[in-house]
Amino acid sequence: MTLKVYCDRMSEPSRAVLMFCKILGIDFEECPVDVLKGQTYTPEYIAINPNSKVPAIADGEFKLYESHAILIYLCCAYPGVASQWYPSDLFERSKIHSVLDWHHTNLRRTAVGLLLNTALVALNPRPPSRQAAEEAEKLLLKSLSFIENVLLKDGRFLCGRSQPSIADISFVCEIMELELLLQEDHDRIFSPYKKVLQWVEDTKSATAPHFDDVHRDLYDQQKGYREMQQQKLEKAN
Amino acid sequence: MTLKVYCDRMSEPSRAVLMFCKILGIDFEECPVDVLKGQTYTPEYIAINPNSKVPAIADGEFKLYESHAILIYLCCAYPGVASQWYPSDLFERSKIHSVLDWHHTNLRRTAVGLLLNTALVALNPRPPSRQAAEEAEKLLLKSLSFIENVLLKDGRFLCGRSQPSIADISFVCEIMELELLLQEDHDRIFSPYKKVLQWVEDTKSATAPHFDDVHRDLYDQQKGYREMQQQKLEKAN
């Protein structure tokens, strides 16, 4: 039975799972779920993912949500997945678990906080807040500094590795969201982080052509978000 | 070489790791790191955990941070760990990964947000905010409802299991923080969640006497936090 991947290409963790399925060459069906249209709250989708988030997968009767858990599952469920993605060595695997955990409460959280108060303000249920944006940017700089000085200290990819792992897949989709949506702020924020910028390019190359494929929609929609943002800001003023 | 566990018993994830080491009967050394005294920022501790958080472990030369990654490591590194804690079956293990991921951005986040604006306001670098406390409480209710209606739907323990796993260890330390620190608000918030309340009792029983052991300091310090909170509130008014 074909693996079903429930996702919205506007969501970073959705793109990570989608890109990884393509990299592995898995036979899967992409099942679009439009978050902005409330499709994660339909009874049909709640039966797939009671948490009403994307992505989720259904592999026959087995259902799973949370992108990191899905990435790990794909590495273990399908034969012949290269060990670079999710190493079998306990020490190396534990380091991957550790940075995936770190992602949740650092990079992911700060990126969401920053975007909801800047480029994606139209999606924020609260009024835009300059203070919230400034705090989120401060935390983002801390996260980028950690990636630059700790996670990329000893290698081209995260955790000092010479090839990308599932952690690179997850992180780079988050960073790409910022690259595309922050636009003019992007250079100001990212330019001190030379290793991070090089790592993004290296990860794009290592995952081509799937990287561009899953990010194409985000790029196309970028303009639409900008217009929505402008309208909301004008309304708030 | 004895495993070193760097922790502060005032931190929920520290208590989870500490309790689990005791449950497994691992020969380990508890290395106290006082977060409030800034001991996570000393050069010596940064060499252990560059993220300056607790807990972290050092198992010989191998160092690891993030409590979930540590719990998984302990299950895999030590021989004879009962499979209930971290099942070897791919589907069951994936479900544990999934709820551990969920924990980061739901229960953990809301609990921290609520406590920093109520019982632990003395530790909040910002002024206390009633709005932030209300929003955090709303999200906490959503998390509790998810645990009650989804994660405990089919069994006494999380993910419909008949015995606790590392997910129960992690979640219950978070819930216990709320139970001890919210005091009068605890009953109001928790009383509708009968399964959650029963699960806390079941997990306490299943992990006795280690549960009470690692929570004793929190209980003792509860009074001190209340006094600090009162002083900060008086100063703010």
Is A82 among the domain residues?
no
Residues B69 and B111 in one domain: no
Residues A72 and A119 in one domain: no
pLDDT in tens, B130-152: 887 888 888 899 999 999 999 99
Is B33 among the domain residues?
yes
Measure CA of the first residue to CA of the last residue in chain A; give whole Å.
53
State which of A77, A102, A133 marks the end of a domain: A77
Q: Which of A69, A77, A105 has the CB atom closest to B97's CB atom?
A: A69
Interchain pair B95, A64: CB under 8 A: yes
Report the distance separating Cα A102 and Cα B141, nearest Å.
25
Residues B104 and B143 in one domain: yes
State which of B50, B77, B104 marks the end of a domain: B77
Residues B52 and B144 in one domain: no
Is B66 among the domain residues?
yes
Is B199 among the domain residues?
yes
Q: Which of B91, B98, B104 has the CB atom closest to A101's CB atom?
A: B104
Domain count, chain A: 2
Q: Which of A94, A105, A109 has the CB atom closest to B69's CB atom?
A: A94
Category of A99 on φ-ψ map: left (φ > 0), alpha (ψ -120 to 50) or beta = alpha
Quick one: closest CA in B to A149, which residue?
B50
State which of B15, B45, B77 marks the end of a domain: B77
pLDDT tens, chain A, 237 aa long: 799 999 999 899 999 999 999 999 999 999 999 998 999 999 999 999 999 999 999 999 999 999 999 999 999 999 999 999 999 999 999 999 999 999 998 888 887 777 777 777 777 777 777 888 888 888 899 999 999 999 999 999 999 999 999 999 999 999 988 887 777 788 889 999 999 999 999 999 999 999 999 998 887 777 676 666 667 667 665
Residues A59 and A173 in one domain: no
Range of the domain at A21: 3-77
ipTM over 0.85: yes
Q: What pTM, to 2 d.p., does this model score? A: 0.92
Residues A118 and A213 in one domain: yes
Is A202 among the domain residues?
yes
Residues A59 and A148 in one domain: no
Residues A20 and A102 in one domain: no
Interchain pair A68, B101: CB under 8 A: yes
Report the distance separating Cα A204 and Cα A110, nearest Å.
22
- The tokens of A196 are what? 């991070």
Residues B129 and B232 in one domain: yes
Interchain pair B94, A64: CB under 8 A: yes
Residues B70 and B172 in one domain: no
